[in-house]
A = this chain, B = another copy of it.
Amino acid sequence: MSSISSKEIQIERAKTTKIDQVDFNNIDFGRIFTDHMFVCDFKDGKWQTPKIMPYQPMTIDPSARVFHYGQAVFEGMKAYKDEAGKVWLFRPEENHARINKSAARLAIPEFPKDYFFNGLHTLLNLDKDWVKPGMGNSLYIRPFVIATEPAISASPASEYRFMIICSPAKAYYSGKVRVLFAEKFSRSADGGVGFAKAAGNYAAQFHPTNLAKEQGYQQVVWTDANTHEYLEEAGTMNVFFRVNDTLITAPTNDRILDGITRKSIIQLAKDNHIDVEVRRVSVKEIKDAARNGSLKEIFGAGTAAVISPISAFEHAEEVFELPNIEDSFASIFKEKLLNIQHNLSEDLHNWRQEVK
């Protein structure tokens, strides 16, 4: 792979900053973007010189393949500011590895590691005032790649654009999340692209999720497409079940995203001597556990929401309300994760990376 140092990134600074117009206490997720963006085009068989420029709309042909064939992958990560004003990333190597895994499945060229990290650090340095200190505040970072080649034959593009855009995210308490276990719709197939952060996986969930919302549920927990008997993951979160004092989560496979929050929780559980089982979880056992009182918690885990406790689920027209628990695993893991992310606790596994 080609190599590039931060110096070789072409930088055009924004003439003014938009930061003063932002009310950081009232932020709607994903609608406000920082002053700069990172852009790198692929053409003639290679990634061209990367650029950082003022955040702005771009010009693209209506025939660009991304519009027609969904050839696009993305990542989601966060930067955190500690009390001393240092900016930290959480396991960013994982995001780089994953975007390339996603890219390979969608026949998109991989993005070189040095381009990724030099771009990311240079961009975050320019926009570091946008990372607000304080527990739960963060800057959400969205690297993505789209097929830009102007041609509508159904085949992989020869031109792509890799970008990083950033959006400030507020510490939020999203309230009680009620979920529906999927019985008819499904998110992904064996041998499909469910394990990838492929753009098309998300739009496919919007309609079933809208139907769930009409019934009073915020999210769908997807089940396997073949039998709908096994629980897989939610729209943008992996899912954990606590039965008595054991934590259970589905194994990853080609239908399920290998979440970084998920694998961090599994590690933290081990570190803290909490029993954790990575195995198939059936709808039936979770319903039985809910009935006999051994189901203590369900929570979702993902970068955007960190940990999202689930208060109720419905399956086959039966509603199960979960108990309100003190010292829940959800709150324990959330605190542990946030403390590591915000440089407030020891980082046993070298998960933090300082932005320099």
Q: Could you tell me which A residues sit within 8 Å of B by CB distance?
A: 29-31, 33, 37, 55, 57-63, 66-72, 74, 104-107, 142, 144, 146-147, 150-156, 163, 165, 167, 182, 184-193, 198-207, 209-210, 225-226, 228, 235-236
A203 engages B200 (CB within 8 Å): yes
Count chain B CB atoms within 10 A of each CB in A107, A146, A191, A235 and give the residue with the most.
Answer: A191
B199 engages A69 (CB within 8 Å): yes
Which residues of the partner chain B approach A152 to less than 8 Å between Cβ atoms? 30, 142, 165, 167
Q: How far is the CA of A94 from the CA of B188 in the complex (A)?
A: 27
Which residues of the partner chain B approach A63 to less than 8 Å between Cβ atoms? 30-31, 33, 142, 165, 167
Copies of this chain in the oligomer: 2
B68 engages A72 (CB within 8 Å): yes
B189 engages A188 (CB within 8 Å): yes
A201 engages B200 (CB within 8 Å): yes
Chain B residue, CB-CB nearest to A147: B203
Q: How far is the CA of A144 from the CA of B154 in the complex (A)?
A: 14
Q: How far is the CA of A55 from the CA of B235 in the complex (A)?
A: 37
| A202 CB contact (under 8 Å) in B70, B226, B236 | B70
Q: How far is the CA of A34 from the CA of B39 in the complex (A)?
A: 30
